[in-house]
Amino acid sequence: MPRYALKIEYHGKPFAGWQKQRNVPSVQQAIEEALQKLEPECAGIQGAGRTDAGVHAYAQVAHVDLAGDWQAYRLSEALNYHLKPHPIAILEAAKVHDDFHARFDAVEREYTFRLLSRRAPAAHEAGLVWQVKHPLDVPAMQEAAAHLIGKHDFTTFRSTFCQAQSPVKTLDVLNIQEQPAMGGTEYRFTIRARSFLHNQVRSFVGTLERVGSGRWEPVDVKHALEAENRAQCGPVCPPHGLYLAKVSYNDDPFLVSGI
């Protein structure tokens, strides 16, 4: 039975998250229902990672086993047809080796967080950014972020509902850039690691915003990290500015040919 990788873009607002759940819409369920229009016996898909309610994706990756020998282009076109009107798009499909696993083969995940600073309400970007009314100090936030880079016990930045066996993770990148936005400034956070704890990225951004606004000093983030205490975390920011931007593999499934 051939296995296919799918690169998926979606707007998270209408969904209770990636993972299929009872009585609520999910991205996984919508894609599986589209797949079952093509092959009614399709067992389901496995994503590279779970995203929470309201979180978006530029490039989620999933794999699926299908009975038919599909051309990649035709598979993506057929799925996009059946996914209407959901705000989900299959950007690419690729036939992969039978042992490829979207989740377990991933070597790094990259998230983007968009934070908009302006006083006027966001009309076009509503639901796509977290908006604050005050400017932020990027050098102070970057100084604070440096304390988070590397291997740490991230209990402070971990949801109490997190099911990971260990709070120890290695954070590879946490960069903040600012760019002009209509009527204000957009701050883009780029966060990369092999894997993340539940709510870890949103906890980082909410805490760093507190530094950027001047309510915390950069060293306060170091103290919060070392406390290994969830109560020492800054506020968890809302989900709608968060995007799963990239999932990396040693062998990019969308570049491999000859399968």
Same domain, 99 and 207: no
Structural domain includes residue 228: yes
Q: Is residue 254 part of a domain?
A: no
Boundary of a domain, candidates 41, 75, 104: 104
Sort residue 91 into left (φ over 0), alpha (ψ -120 to 50) or beta.
alpha
Active site amino acids: 52
Residues 98 and 116 in one domain: no
DSSP conformation letters of 231-242: GGS-PPPPGGGE
Q: How far apart are CA 150 and CA 8, in angstroms?
A: 29
User: What percent of the chain shows pLDDT beyond 70?
Assistant: 98
Distances in Å between the Cα of 188 and the Cα atoms of 43, 112, 143, 144 are 38, 7, 16, 15
| pLDDT for residue 75 is more than 80 | yes
Domain extent for 145: 107-245
Domain count, the chain: 2
Q: Which pTM value belongs to this model?
A: 0.95
In this predicted model, what pLDDT tens digit does every residue of 120-178 receive, in sequence order? 999 999 999 999 999 999 999 999 999 999 999 999 999 999 989 999 999 999 999 99
CA distances from 125 to 13, 53, 73, 183, 226 (A): 12, 18, 31, 12, 36
In a domain, 10, yes or no: yes
Same domain, 52 and 162: no
- pLDDT over 70 (residue 259): no
Last residue of a domain, one of 104, 133, 164: 104
24-40 exposure pattern, b = at least 16 Cβ within 10 A, e = fewer = eebbbbbbbebbeebee
The pLDDT value recorded for residue 1 is: 87
Name the pLDDT band for 214 (thresholds 50, 70, 90): very high
CATH value at residue 37: 3.30.70.580
Confidence tier at 199 by pLDDT (50, 70, 90):
very high
Give the residue from 74, 104, 134 where a domain finishes. Answer: 104
Report the chain's mean pLDDT, rounded to a whole number: 96
The half-sphere exposure of 99 on its side-chain side, counting CA atoms within 13 A, is 1
